[in-house]
Structure formats: structure tokens, C-alpha cells
């Protein structure tokens, strides 16, 4: 029995040490409070008597905004950090129309059900706007609530085209929805701009397409079918894969055998890792251009132990001066939170400032005035410039919202597209087989 | 089983807790609870039906039907499909979905009629999993709404649109709440009656010793089938109502973690085989979880799980029922002084 | 198709089956003894990878050493779970279902907080071998040999050692073993330890193949559950056979039906088998 106790203690100690050491260098990733902090807060909130609402000197009152996010996912936490940062900045400059802004959140736990409950919760707490809304299924779950509660939503995610159709078909019911990001078709279009250019530049007419077999890819498929025909590119190999796929070896073999001259890929889960691994192991001699949530992380190269070399990935938001606000935000976020902002984190940050600016332009918090301000103005953010279309999504264009494509070269993310942001002296790595091994040949780029 | 005759006063006194709760629940919307909590309570009322579904069958026969989430979700899918592909308005498709779903539950029952114990549990759990797999697989998922699920007009929406703007929301919230409350109360009363009826006795006999029950002349097969169908009826009603109030219908309705685990937990913490225990546990646990968000935010998952672990480990037979019995004894003692 | 698909199906069926075997072995043995599925099993799988990662990255330990420590730690954690949660709940198996599930959720939250946006990756066993012209990472061979070794070790342990035989006796019948003088609770402890060690080994072996996220434990847990149901609760040989059936069936279906339905096709197979043979292929009839 004593032996058992000793063993348990040892296990506990080692586990504790492992946990302590796992904090990545650079600081804590999330702003999750420690349990002690939380308990202290609860206790002190009962001890000190503070009347609500507190009016801070300089502000005429407080308004709330709601963040509806999947806080069980890292991206949700990161978006919340960005939203909070934006709110703090706004308050530091005197708030919105003299009101101090406060963020309240609701965890959707990545389900439509909780998203639905969350919107109602936030609306009843009196928020003036709901931001976040990362998942399409989350957005679709709340669409029919908008006309009942009349709280506008400025989402930074939820790319489903179905939402855009809803706004177009029944404006009065869905006018409250705005997307400070692009829809799925735009995402596909951006990738195809590069694929089309590569086709023209290198004379490639055969493409292999490997994708994650989930509904969000369908608009990409539809768009690709049409665009490929326009560009004179034939898709010689198509393969959908499950998220838990264990190996791409056979898929790559088939892609090469089909005569494809380059590959495009789309994943949102951990397939990126397997893909990179087999891309390297199998010495696949085809350029691979695509998008994956993890492939755009700065840590991806090391995590794959260099297998990611040569992969070209899309990135929405990137640390280069897309606008004059980009680098400030990037550096500030990184210094405060220890990791770089990725993907929709940029857009979440922008969405808050967009709302604030719209309110200022409208001169009030009234929902219809704000909607009108959003529809009739252009907003400069960190990820680009936002202009809302008739379906209330952001315009995809080089001078509006547009992604960056980078290639993993020697562990670094080198921007290769679009050309207006590519640095002089950049090279593109092309794969070729020399003496039975795949090597990367650097050519001047553009 | 023979019940001693009770005096009228005793009868009324023993029903007081139940009646008090009933009165409170009925008046709740007027106590300025707010739409969000009404919404939560609507859900909790409907989940009571699922809790009873599990308790009525698994609590008596000890056949652990882990496929309840399938029945619950299938009712939702039936409702949505009838609506989207056959144009049947929500109000009617909800009613139609119930018998359809009860019938579909035979998918769990029929293959497993000869199977006992842990194997029955395993088999029943595989049904919702397979259903989820089929529904999310590519050829099928497009017809089932894709990412957003099957969308349709929520219950009474057309009627609500005809009302003045300020009233619309309230009308929907209140009507949903009262429907769910009525369903919960009726469900509970029926469960009570079944429990103390001869049929209930037969169910428990099957659970105690199936061979012996067969030997005493009980048609165990019929008892199991009828019991299972009653249990499915509860889950189907709950699923149909729930889905009708919260479009879109997605696979989340079938995921065991959402619609099996919470009611199952209520049954266990409440006391498998008792009625009032799981009923109280249902409200207590689900409301606490919601409440914790306001208190400790993201930490609520860990806190709640730890609480469950502690409660169940200390008292695997469930604490709520025992606590309730103790409370009643205490109150009875107080009132008879 | 220019590519000879059959060699891929064959090769990867074998490799995937061996991965299923590794994570089903421990689960199967424990389920057989305790008669309760340990739903925290998936968490143990992630935990060992996590500890290995933490030890190699922050203490700079040799991967092998780190892995061994991690496996040991996981074995102990498994023991702890058994002592604290399963033992008290033996009177009421269903309740253990909930408590181990809760533990799994707690672990998931813990991993979420610790891992952030960075899935865990571990290095592959270096080198590539060409089999029938197909480039195969040597890591697959490592897994294949490890899984068979684990199977053999477990079989030998259960058949030829006193402790192993006690485990089988307890799996057969708790009452009978008591009458034979075996203390089922002691045996249960050993079973938890061994199952934990196996879960730990699985984590370290399989993580390099992909990347681990906090929710990565549910897939293996569920597959292990299905395989054990198919092979028969408590039968290690059954687990071996079921793993390969599952693997081959899944791989073949992927080519015939496409990836969508293929992942649940083995489940449908299992349901069919269970209808006619509820105890699984090699399980004991109750």
C-alpha cells in the first residue's frame, strides 16, 4: 500500500513538472485565467460593494459587445484576445460616442446549439453587436434569430455562401448580418488566381486536387470546375480525404500517374501534417499550392521536421505591411500574447474597430443607422480594406481583402504572391528529380 | 406489491413538494427570469423526457439502451425532412415525426432482442455512431443540409410574424416554455403511473431475473418490446419538440455527448430506477452547468466534471433520491409535530 | 488507373491494422478484467505523447529515454484512475462510464490549455524503404514490429505467468477467482498498470504519424471499443484478428466507396457480426 502511495506521488510530480515545462517559450498562449485568479475575483466581488454600472470618469456610460466564439478551440481563444485588445484600444481613446466598451462572451463549444443559445444570451445582456462567429454552422444556427432580437452581427469567419444567398433573398430578415471576411467562393477564387498564373507562366495544363471531404469544400469544387475550364486547366485527379487520414502515399502516386503537373490542396484539420510528411517522404516532384489551418502556422515547419519544405500555403493576414496598421497590430499582439495572430484573429480585431467606426459615422447605436453606415463606408483594417457587398460580405480584391501566399523555404515563410507584396530578390523553389532524388531549384521570382 | 392505505392528509402532504415545484415552474416566465433562462428551462424540461426514457427502461430492466440519442435525433431529422422535402408545415411535421421516430427505434431493438448485458449496451451505442457517420458522409450530407443542417421555420414562426414586433419574441419563448412544461409534467405523471402499475412490476421483474420472470409466466419478450417502445416514445417526443423549436437540424442532435450523456448522468446521480431522483438531478445538473458559465466561465467544464466524479465515486447508486427521501422524512417530522 | 492500387491497399491495410492493434490491446485486456470500458483511455494515449514532447523539448532528453519515462508515468496515471474511480464504482458499472468520461473531458481541457494552437508532433523513425516500389517510412515497420511484439508479450504474460493467469481467472469470473484465493482487486490494479503502459506505448508509437490535438484521443478510443466488441471482450487473440479485419475492410472500402462512407463501413460490419454473435468473434458467451 505504501508502495502504491509512493508511486502515485511520483507520477503526480512528474506530471506536474511536465505540465510546468510545457509552457512554450515566449509566454502563455492563452489568456485563460488561473483558478486562483478566478477564485479571488469571485471572493472580492462579494466583499467589495460596487453599484452597477460603474461610471468611469470621462465616460458617459458603458455599452457591451458580445463575442460569440468556440472558446474550446485555440482559434476561438485567439480571436477573443484580439477582440479584447481592440476594445482596450478603443477605450483608451475615449470609447465609442463617449461610452466605455465592455466585452462579454459566450462559448459556443463549436456547436450550432450553443451558438444559438449564446446569441440569445448576449442579446438579452443588451449587447450592441455580436462579433466572432467563426463557424459556418454556428452562423447558420443563429441567422433566424437576427430578425427577432435585432442585434447586428459582424462575423469574422463563417464563409458559407448559403449565408450570402440568405441576405440577398430576404434582406429584411437578414440585413443584420455582416461578414468582415470573405466567403467560400472568394477563398477559392483567390487560390485560383495563383493557380491560373502558374499555368500561364509554366505552361501547366493539368492539375491534381486533393481536399478534405467536408461540406465547406463544396463551393471550392464548384468554383474550381468553372474557373479551370476558363483557364484551360484540366483537373486530372480529384481525391477527397477524411480528416483522420493516415497516409497520402497512394494519393500522391495516383496524382503523379494521372499526369498532373501541379497539385492544389485544402484541409482544415491535422491532415496538413500527414500531407507534408508524405510529400517529403515520397519525394513528390510537383509543386503543391493550397491552404490548411496548421500549414500557415510559423511552427509548422519545425513541427513537420522540415517536411513542409517547398509547400505553398495561403495565409489570410500575414506580417507584412498590407495596410499601415498591419505591422503595429502584429507586433503588439505577439508581444502581449506570445504567439502571432493567425487567420481570423486579424479579422476579429478588425471587426471591432469596424463596428466602432460605423457607430461613430452613424452617430448612434441604433441598429438600422449602424447597418446603413456599414453598407455605405469603406474601412481600413489590419488584414486589408473592408467594403461590404450587397450580401454583406467583404469584397475580394487586391486593394480590399486579399490573401498572401507563401512558400516554406529553409524554415521560413517566403511570400511569393501576389506580386505587389513580394520582396525583390525573392526566389521560387521548384521541385525536380535529379539522379532519382527530389531537389528544389530556385528561380528568380517574379 | 401491496401499498398501505394512506390518509388523505398524508397524500396531500407527500404531494406538496411536487405541487410547489409545479406552481413555481408555471409562474416562472412572469418572475422576470429572462428569455435566455426560459430557453434553458425549455431545454431542461424536454431533457427530462429523455432522462425518463432512459430511467423507465434501463432503470427497470437493466438493459442499458445507449442509443437514445439516435431516437431523439431521428425525430428531429424526420421533422426536418418532412418539412423540407414534403413541404409539411412545422406544426404538423412535429407531430408526424413522433410515430416515425418510434418506429425507427426498432432499428436498435430488433437486432438486439436476443442480446443481454454489456453487449446490448455496445450494440445500442453503435447505432447513433453509424447514423452520424452515414449522415455526415459526402453523398448524403448534401441532402441533409451540409454544414448548416436542415433549415426550416421554427415552430409557430409564421403565426409569430403576424404579431406586433415587440410581442413576437416573447410569444415564441413563452409558448415553447409552456409546451415543454406540459410535456414534462405529463411525461412525469405517466412515468409515475407506469412505474407503479403491473407493467412496471413486470419490467422490474425482467431486470431482477429474466429467466425467473419468464418462468412465472411473464412474456418477457413482449414486456421488453413494449417497454422499449414506451422509452422511445419519450425520446421521440422530446426530440421532435426540441428540433421544432431550434432549427436547423444537424448531427449534433444525435451525438451521444450532447443527448445521451447529460440525461444518463442525471439518471445515475439521481438514482437509477427511482423516478424523482433523476427528475430532480436533471434540473439540478443542467441548470448548474449553465449557471456556472456566469460564475467561472471556461473553468466550468473542469469544475463540473470534477463535481460529477466526486459525487458518483462516493455514491455510485446516486445521491439525489436518498437525499430526497431524507428531506421528506425530515419535513414529515416537522409537519407532524 | 496506371497505379497498381492493390499493392497500396495491401501494404496500408497491414500498417493501419497494426496501429489499431497497438491501441486496442491494452483496452481489450482491461475491459475483459474490469468488465467496464475505461473511457479515459484516449486521454492516456495523448498524455504519453505530451509528456514525451515536454521532456524532449524542455529538458532535452533523448527521445527514447523520454518515451520510457512517459510510458511509465502513464502507467501510473492509469493505476491512479483505477484506484480512485473504477474500484469504488464496481458495484455500479454504468456510473464508471460517466466518471471515466468526465476524467477524459478534464484531460481534454487540460491539454487544450497547455497545447494551445500547436498540435504535438514527434519525429518519425528515420529512413524510407521501398516496398513494391512504394515509399514507406521506416516508422511503419517500427509500428508493425512493435504491435506484434506487444501482442506476443501480452499473450505470453497472460498464458504463462502466474500474474497473467490470475488476470485471466478474474476476467473469467470474479467469484471463482476469489474461491481460488486470488484477490480480484489486486489483479485489477495490475491490469490497470499494464493497460496504462500499453496506452502509453501506443501514444509514443503512433503520434509521429500525424499530429495530436486535444481531441485526438476519442478516435482511437472509439476504434478500440469497436475492435474489442468485434474481437470479443477479453480475448487478446480476438483483438488481433479484429484489428486486421477492421483495417483491411476499411482500406478496401475506401477505394471502393470513397472516403466518406468508408470510415463507418467497419462499424456496420461489426453491427452485423454482433447481431448474430453478440459476444464477438472470440468472446465468451455470458
pLDDT per position as a tens digit, B220-254: 889 999 999 999 999 999 999 999 998 889 888 99
Which residue of chain C comes nearest to A23, CA vs CA?
C114
CA distance C191 to C187: 6
Mean pLDDT of A253-259: 92
Give tens-digit pLDDT for B124-152. 888 998 898 888 877 788 788 777 788 88
CB contacts of C35 in chain B (<8 Å) are: 118
Highest mean pLDDT among A38-42, A88-92, C268-272: A88-92
What is the model's pLDDT at position C174? 80
Answer yes or no: is pLDDT of B317 > 70. Answer: yes
Which residue of chain B comes nearest to C108, CA vs CA?
B302
Q: Would you call A254 an interface residue with chain C, using a CB distance cutoff of 8 Å?
A: yes
Q: Decide if C95 and B264 are in contact by the 8 Å CB cutoff.
A: no
CA distance B73 to B101: 9
User: Nearest-CA distance from C142 to chain B in Å?
Assistant: 31
What is the model's pLDDT at position B11? 66
CATH topology of domain C5-276: ABC transporter involved in vitamin B12 uptake, BtuC (1.10.3470)
Q: How confident is the model at residue A264 (pLDDT cuts 50, 70, 90)?
A: very high
CA distance A412 to A115: 37
What is the model's pLDDT at position A258? 92
What is the model's pLDDT at position A21? 41
What is the model's pLDDT at position A395? 96
ipTM above 0.85, yes or no: yes
What is the model's pLDDT at position B72? 96
- Please tell me which of the candidates B40, B148, B296 has its beta carbon nearest to residue A162: B148
Which one is predicted more confidently, A193 or A342? A193
Q: Decide if B126 and C84 are in contact by the 8 Å CB cutoff.
A: no
Chain A to chain C Cβ contacts (< 8 Å): 137
CA distance A231 to A238: 18
Q: Would you call B106 an interface residue with chain C, using a CB distance cutoff of 8 Å?
A: no
Mean pLDDT of chain A: 87
Q: Are strands A312-315 and A287-292 parallel, antiparallel or unpaired?
A: parallel
Q: What is the 3-state secondary structure (H, E, C) of chain B?
A: CCCCCCCHHHHHHHHHHHHHHHHHHHHHHHHCCCHHHHHHHHHHHHHHHHHHHHHHHHHHHCCCCCCHHHHHHHHHHHHHHHHHHHCCCHHHHHHHHHHHHHHHCHHHHHHHCCCCHHHHHHHHHHHHHHHHHHHHCHHHHCCCCHHHCECCCCCCHHHHHCCCHHHHHHHHHHHHHHHHHHHHHHHHHHHHHHHCCHHHHHHHHHHHCHHHHHHCCCCHHHHHHHHHHHHHHHHHHHHHHHHHHCCCECHHHCCHHHHCHHHHHHHHHHCCCCCHHHHHHHHHHHHHHHHHHHHHHHHHHHHHHHHHHHHHHHCCCCCHHHHHHHHHHHHHHHHHC
Q: Decide if B148 and A141 are in contact by the 8 Å CB cutoff.
A: yes
Domain ranges for chain C: 5-276
Q: Decide if C85 and B309 are in contact by the 8 Å CB cutoff.
A: yes
B311 within domain boundaries: no
User: Nearest-CA distance from C109 to chain A in Å?
Assistant: 8
CB contacts of B168 in chain A (<8 Å) are: 148
Strand runs (DSSP E) across C128-170, as ranges? 128-131, 134-137
What is the model's pLDDT at position A27? 29
- Please tell me which of the candidates B64, B122, B312 has its beta carbon nearest to residue C98: B312
Q: How far is CA B56 from the centre of its chain?
A: 10
Mean pLDDT of A308-334: 94
Q: How far is CA B314 from the centre of its chain?
A: 25
What is the model's pLDDT at position A414? 95
User: Nearest-CA distance from C109 to chain B in Å?
Assistant: 7
In this structure, what is the dihedral angle of CA atoms C112, C114, C119, C121, given to the nearest 10 degrees?
A: -140
Report yes or no: C258 and B98 within 8 Å, Cβ to Cβ. no
Answer yes or no: is pLDDT of B99 > 90. Answer: yes
CB contacts of C85 in chain B (<8 Å) are: 309, 313
- Please tell me which of the candidates B129, B313, B316 has its beta carbon nearest to residue C84: B313
Give tens-digit pLDDT for C192-213. 999 999 999 999 999 998 888 8
Name the interface residues of A facing B (CB cutoff 8 Å). 32-33, 35, 38, 42, 71, 105-107, 111-113, 116-117, 120-121, 124, 136-137, 139-141, 144, 148-149, 160, 162, 213-216, 218, 240
CB contacts of A160 in chain B (<8 Å) are: 147-148
Domain ranges for chain A: 61-181+322-387, 185-315+411-444
Cell representation of residue A52: 452597477
What is the model's pLDDT at position B13? 65
What is the model's pLDDT at position A9? 54
Report the length, in residues, of chain C. 286
SS3 C130: strand
What is the model's pLDDT at position B167? 83
Which residue of chain C comes nearest to B59, CA vs CA?
C94
CB contacts of A283 in chain C (<8 Å) are: 135
Which residue of chain C comes nearest to A78, CA vs CA?
C117
Q: Decide if A339 and C117 are in contact by the 8 Å CB cutoff.
A: yes
Q: Would you call A377 an interface residue with chain C, using a CB distance cutoff of 8 Å?
A: no
> A176-188: b or e for each residue (b if 16 or more CB lie within 10 Å)?
bbbbbbbbbbbbb
Q: How confident is the model at residue B337 (pLDDT cuts 50, 70, 90)?
A: low
Mean pLDDT of A318-336: 94
Give tens-digit pLDDT for B274-305. 888 999 999 999 999 888 887 887 788 888 99
CB contacts of C93 in chain B (<8 Å) are: 118
What is the model's pLDDT at position C153? 93
pLDDT over 70 for what percent of chain A?
87
Answer yes or no: is pLDDT of A14 > 80. Answer: no
Low-confidence ranges of chain C (pLDDT < 70): 1-3, 117, 284-286
Q: Decide if C51 and A270 are in contact by the 8 Å CB cutoff.
A: no
Q: Decide if C95 and B268 are in contact by the 8 Å CB cutoff.
A: yes
- Please tell me which of the candidates B142, B169, B246 has its beta carbon nearest to residue A113: B246
CA distance A311 to C259: 24
Interface of B with C in 53-82 (CB under 8 A): 64
C-alpha closest to that of C105 among B199, A243, B258: B258
CATH for A61-181+322-387 is 3.40.50.2300
Other residues' Cβ atoms within 10 Å of the Cβ of residue A210 = 24
Answer yes or no: is pLDDT of A10 > 70. Answer: no
User: Nearest-CA distance from B335 to chain A in Å?
Assistant: 36
pLDDT over 70 for what percent of chain B?
95
Which one is predicted more confidently, B38 or B164? B38
C-alpha closest to that of C193 among C52, C61, C71, C49: C71
Number of domains in chain B: 1
Give tens-digit pLDDT for B67-88. 999 999 999 999 999 999 998 9
Cell representation of residue A349: 480585431
Interface of B with C in 167-226 (CB under 8 A): none
Does domain A185-315+411-444 match CATH 3.40.50.2300? yes
Answer yes or no: is pLDDT of B117 > 80. Answer: no
- Print the domain residue range for B45: 35-255
Tell me which chains share at least 3 CB pairs under 8 Å with chain C.
A, B
Cis peptide before B326 (omega within 30 of 0): no
User: Nearest-CA distance from B191 to chain A in Å?
Assistant: 28
B108 within domain boundaries: yes
What is the model's pLDDT at position B7? 65
SS3 C137: strand
Answer yes or no: is pLDDT of A37 > 50. Answer: no
Highest mean pLDDT among A192-196, B113-117, B327-331: A192-196
Q: Decide if B258 and A111 are in contact by the 8 Å CB cutoff.
A: yes
- Please tell me which of the candidates B141, B301, B316 has its beta carbon nearest to residue C91: B316
Among C264, C266, C272, the residue to mutate for chain B (most B Cβ within 10 A): C264
CB contacts of C59 in chain A (<8 Å) are: 21
User: Nearest-CA distance from C237 to chain B in Å?
Assistant: 19
Give tens-digit pLDDT for C20-63. 999 899 998 888 887 778 889 999 999 999 999 989 888 888 88
Q: How far is CA A396 from the centre of its chain?
A: 15
Q: Decide if A244 and C121 are in contact by the 8 Å CB cutoff.
A: no
Q: Would you call B252 an interface residue with chain A, using a CB distance cutoff of 8 Å?
A: yes
B224 within domain boundaries: yes
B162 class by beta-carbon count within 10 Å (0-12 exposed, 13-18 middle, 19+ buried): exposed
What is the model's pLDDT at position B29? 79
What distance, in Å, lies between the first and last C-alpha atoms of chain B?
30
CA distance A380 to A350: 8
Q: How confident is the model at residue A17 (pLDDT cuts 50, 70, 90)?
A: very low
Tell me which chains share at least 3 CB pairs under 8 Å with chain B.
A, C
- Please tell me which of the candidates C89, C229, C275 has its beta carbon nearest to residue B316: C89
CB contacts of C103 in chain B (<8 Å) are: 305, 309
Q: Decide if B36 and A124 are in contact by the 8 Å CB cutoff.
A: yes
Amino acid at each position: 500500500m505504501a508502495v502504491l502511495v509512493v508511486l502515485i506521488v511520483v507520477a503526480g510530480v512528474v506530471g506536474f513538472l511536465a505540465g510546468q515545462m510545457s509552457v512554450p517559450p515566449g509566454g502563455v498562449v492563452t489568456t485563460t485565467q488561473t483558478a486562483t485568479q478566478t477564485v479571488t475575483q469571485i471572493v472580492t466581488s462579494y466583499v467589495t460593494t460596487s453599484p452597477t454600472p460603474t461610471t468611469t470618469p470621462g465616460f458617459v456610460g458603458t455599452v457591451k459587445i458580445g463575442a460569440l466564439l468556440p472558446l474550446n478551440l485555440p482559434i476561438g481563444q485567439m480571436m477573443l484576445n484580439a477582440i479584447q485588445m481592440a476594445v482596450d484600444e478603443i477605450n483608451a481613446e475615449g470609447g465609442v460616442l463617449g461610452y466605455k466598451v465592455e466585452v462579454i462572451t459566450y462559448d459556443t463549444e463549436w456547436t450550432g446549439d450553443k451558438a444559438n443559445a449564446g446569441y440569445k444570451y448576449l442579446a438579452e445582456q443588451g449587447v450592441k453587436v455580436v462579433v466572432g462567429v467563426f463557424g459556418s454552422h454556428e452562423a447558420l444556427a443563429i441567422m433566424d434569430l437576427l430578425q427577432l432580437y435585432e442585434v447586428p452581427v459582424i462575423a469574422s469567419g463563417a464563409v458559407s455562401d448559403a449565408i450570402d444567398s440568405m441576405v440577398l433573398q430576404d434582406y429584411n430578415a437578414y440585413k443584420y448580418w455582416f461578414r468582415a471576411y470573405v466567403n467560400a467562393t472568394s477563398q477559392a477564387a483567390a487560390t485560383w488566381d495563383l493557380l491560373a498564373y502558374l499555368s500561364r507562366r509554366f505552361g501547366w495544363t493539368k492539375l491534381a486536387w486533393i481536399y478534405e471531404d467536408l461540406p465547406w469544400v463544396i463551393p471550392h469544387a464548384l468554383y474550381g470546375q468553372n474557373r479551370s475550364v476558363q483557364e484551360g486547366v484540366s483537373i486530372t485527379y480529384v481525391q477527397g480525404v477524411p480528416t483522420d487520414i493516415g497516409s497520402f502515399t497512394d494519393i500522391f502516386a495516383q496524382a503523379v500517374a494521372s499526369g498532373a503537373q501541379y497539385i492544389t490542396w485544402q484541409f482544415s484539420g491535422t491532415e496538413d501534417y500527414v500531407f507534408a510528411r508524405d510529400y517529403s517522404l515520397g519525394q513528390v516532384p510537383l509543386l503543391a499550392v493550397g491552404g490548411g489551418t496548421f500549414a500557415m502556422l510559423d511552427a509548422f515547419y519545425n513541427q513537420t521536421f522540415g517536411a513542409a519544405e517547398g509547400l505553398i500555403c495561403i495565409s489570410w493576414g500575414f506580417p507584412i505591411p498590407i495596410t499601415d496598421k498591419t505591422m503595429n497590430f502584429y507586433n503588439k499582439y505577439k508581444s502581449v500574447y506570445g504567439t502571432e495572430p493567425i487567420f481570423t484573429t486579424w479579422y476579429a480585431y478588425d471587426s471591432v474597430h469596424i463596428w466602432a467606426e460605423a457607430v461613430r459615422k452613424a452617430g448612434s447605436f441604433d441598429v438600422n443607422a449602424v447597418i446603413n453606415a456599414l453598407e455605405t463606408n469603406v474601412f481600413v483594417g489590419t488584414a486589408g480594406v473592408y467594403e461590404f457587398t450587397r450580401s454583406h460580405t467583404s469584397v475580394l480584391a487586391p486593394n480590399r481583402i486579399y490573401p498572401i501566399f507563401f512558400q516554406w523555404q529553409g524554415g521560413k515563410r517566403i511570400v511569393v504572391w501576389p506580386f505587389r507584396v513580394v520582396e525583390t530578390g525573392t526566389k521560387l523553389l521548384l521541385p525536380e528529380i535529379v539522379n532519382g532524388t527530389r531537389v528544389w531549384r530556385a528561380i528568380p521570382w517574379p | 406489491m401491496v401499498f398501505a392505505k394512506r390518509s388523505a392528509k398524508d397524500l396531500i402532504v407527500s404531494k406538496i413538494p411536487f405541487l410547489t415545484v409545479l406552481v413555481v415552474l408555471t409562474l416562472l416566465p412572469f418572475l422576470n427570469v429572462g428569455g435566455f433562462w426560459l430557453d434553458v428551462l425549455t431545454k431542461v424540461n424536454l431533457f427530462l423526457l429523455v432522462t425518463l426514457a432512459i430511467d423507465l427502461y434501463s432503470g427497470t430492466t437493466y438493459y442499458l439502451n445507449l442509443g437514445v440519442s439516435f431516437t431523439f435525433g431521428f425525430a428531429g431529422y424526420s421533422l426536418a425532412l418532412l418539412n423540407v422535402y414534403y413541404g409539411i408545415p412545422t406544426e404538423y411535421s412535429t407531430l408526424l415525426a413522433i410515430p416515425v421516430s418510434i418506429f425507427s427505434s426498432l432499428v436498435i431493438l430488433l437486432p438486439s432482442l436476443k442480446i443481454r448485458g454489456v453487449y446490448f449496451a455496445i450494440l445500442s451505442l453503435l447505432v447513433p455512431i453509424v447514423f452520424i457517420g452515414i449522415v455526415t458522409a459526402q453523398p448524403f450530407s448534401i441532402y441533409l443540409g451540409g454544414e448548416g443542417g436542415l433549415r426550416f421555420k421554427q415552430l409557430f414562426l409564421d403565426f409569430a410574424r403576424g404579431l406586433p414586433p415587440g410581442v413576437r419574441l416573447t410569444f415564441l419563448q413563452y409558448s415553447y416554455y409552456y409546451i415543454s412544461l406540459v410535456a414534462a409534467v405529463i411525461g412525469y405523471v405517466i412515468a409515475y403511473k407506469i412505474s407503479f402499475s403491473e407493467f412496471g412490476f413486470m419490467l422490474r421483474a425482467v431486470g431482477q431475473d429474466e429467466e425467473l420472470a419468464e418462468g412465472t409466466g411473464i412474456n418477457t419478450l413482449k414486456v421488453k418490446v413494449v417497454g422499449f417502445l414506451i422509452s422511445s416514445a419519450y425520446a421521440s417526443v422530446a426530440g421532435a419538440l426540441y428540433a421544432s423549436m431550434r432549427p436547423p437540424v444537424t448531427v449534433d442532435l444525435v451525438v451521444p455527448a450532447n443527448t445521451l450523456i447529460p440525461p444518463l448522468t442525471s439518471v445515475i446521480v439521481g438514482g437509477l430506477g427511482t423516478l424523482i431522483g433523476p427528475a430532480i438531478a436533471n434540473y439540478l445538473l443542467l441548470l448548474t452547468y449553465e449557471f456556472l458559465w456566469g460564475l467561472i466561465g471556461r473553468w466550468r467544464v473542469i469544475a463540473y466534471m470534477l463535481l460529477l466524479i466526486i459525487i458518483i465515486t462516493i455514491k455510485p447508486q446516486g445521491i439525489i433520491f436518498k437525499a430526497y427521501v431524507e428531506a421528506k422524512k425530515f419535513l414529515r417530522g416537522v409537519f407532524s409535530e | 488507373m496506371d497505379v497498381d492500387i492493390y499493392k497500396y491497399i495491401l501494404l496500408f491495410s497491414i500498417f493501419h491494422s497494426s496501429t489499431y492493434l497497438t491501441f486496442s490491446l491494452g483496452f481489450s485486456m482491461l475491459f475483459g478484467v474490469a468488465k467496464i470500458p475505461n473511457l479515459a483511455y484516449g486521454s492516456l494515449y495523448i498524455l504519453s505523447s505530451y509528456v514525451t514532447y515536454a521532456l524532449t523539448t524542455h529538458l532535452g532528453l533523448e527521445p527514447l529515454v523520454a518515451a520510457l519515462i512517459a510510458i511509465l508515468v502513464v502507467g501510473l496515471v492509469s493505476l491512479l484512475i483505477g484506484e480512485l474511480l473504477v474500484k469504488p464504482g464496481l458495484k455500479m458499472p454504468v456510473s464508471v462510464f460517466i466518471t471515466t468520461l468526465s476524467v477524459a473531458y478534464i484531460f481534454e481541457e487540460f491539454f487544450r490549455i497547455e497545447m494551445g494552437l500547436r498540435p504535438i508532433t514527434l519525429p518519425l523513425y528515420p529512413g524510407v524503404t521501398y516496398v513494391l516500389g512504394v515509399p514507406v517510412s521506416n516508422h511503419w515497420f517500427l509500428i508493425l514490429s512493435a504491435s506484434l511484439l506487444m501482442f506476443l508479450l501480452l499473450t505470453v504474460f497472460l498464458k504463462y505467468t502466474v500474474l497473467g493467469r490470475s488476470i485471466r481467472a478474474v476476467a473469467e469470473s470474479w467469484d471463482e477467482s476469489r474461491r481460488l484465493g486470488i484477490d480480484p482487486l489486486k489483479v485489477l490494479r495490475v491490469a490497470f498498470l499494464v493497460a496504462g503502459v500499453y496506452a502509453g506505448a501506443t501514444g509514443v508509437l503512433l503520434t509521429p504519424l500525424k499530429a495530436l490535438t486535444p481531441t485526438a484521443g476519442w478516435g482511437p478510443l472509439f476504434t478500440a471499443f469497436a475492435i474489442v466488441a468485434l474481437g470479443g471482450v477479453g480475448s487478446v487473440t480476438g483483438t488481433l484478428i479484429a484489428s486486421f479485419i477492421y483495417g483491411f475492410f476499411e482500406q478496401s472500402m475506401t477505394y471502393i466507396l470513397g472516403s466518406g462512407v468508408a470510415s463507418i463501413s467497419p462499424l456496420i460490419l461489426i453491427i452485423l457480426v454482433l447481431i448474430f454473435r453478440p459476444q464477438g468473434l472470440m468472446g465468451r458467451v455470458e
